[in-house]
Amino acid sequence: MENYPKPMTHLKVVSRKDVLRTKLFRVSKVTFKGSTLKGLNKTHIHKNVLRDPIVVVFPMDEVGNVYLIRQYRYLLERTILEAVAGHVDKGEKPISSAERELFEETGIKAAQWEHMGMIEGSASVVRSVAHLFLARELKFGEPHPEEDEDISLVKIPLREAIEKVISLEIQSSTTMVGLFLLKELRKKKKQ
């Protein structure tokens, strides 16, 4: 194994200031002091995008089908296949956001919920925390999407969804991680 130098571990935040704040994220300028790998005590400035937490929901029926959504994403300029997802509103618990988003986007209500875990979208310039939920015991109703959301519900066996991840037909990172995690959690429960 290669001998990597130790990372900077003695960092002290000197100041933190939001330079931009929106409904969904903020840009923060952080100044900190710390020793470099060469032993120099320097001041470092980082500008980071801090995105509000999101929830990603994987509704699954009793025979192992997952329900994903197909929707146009203007940032990508194309329609994609992904899991139901949305922002956690200020003061809202992630489970409440997951229930709300699932119902709004698909019309589905679930009687059983499992928090599969929390993941970091990135550890560099953008910080984005995602809470992954499994929703079971599904009841289907009418969706109530936002005015600018054009969403269609896609029922797909979990194994086929995994194949779409492997072939990169599904490219949403939170959807990819969530589907693989769901597959592994189901495998563990069968043992």
Spell out the CATH class of 54-190: alpha beta
Phi, psi of 11, rounded to the nearest 5 degrees: -110, 135
Read off the tokens for 149: 């959301």
Backbone dihedral region for residue 39 (phi beyond 0: left; psi -120 to 50: alpha; all else: beta): left
State the pLDDT at residue 177.
97
Give the CA distances from residue 64 to residues 50, 59, 116, in Å, rounded to whole numbers and listed in that order: 35, 10, 16
User: What's the predicted TM-score (pTM) here?
Assistant: 0.84
State the pLDDT at residue 1.
46
CB 165 within 8 A of CB 174: no
Q: How confident is the model at residue 79 (pLDDT cuts 50, 70, 90)?
A: very high
**Higher-confidence residue: 187 or 164?**
164
Give the CA distances from residue 188 to residues 98, 183, 184, in Å, rounded to whole numbers and listed in that order: 24, 9, 6
State the pLDDT at residue 9.
60
End-to-end Cα spacing for the chain: 34
**Start-end of CATH 3.90.79.10 domains in the chain:** 54-190
Q: How confident is the model at residue 146 (pLDDT cuts 50, 70, 90)?
A: confident
| Alpha-carbon gap, residue 127 to 48, rounded angstroms | 7
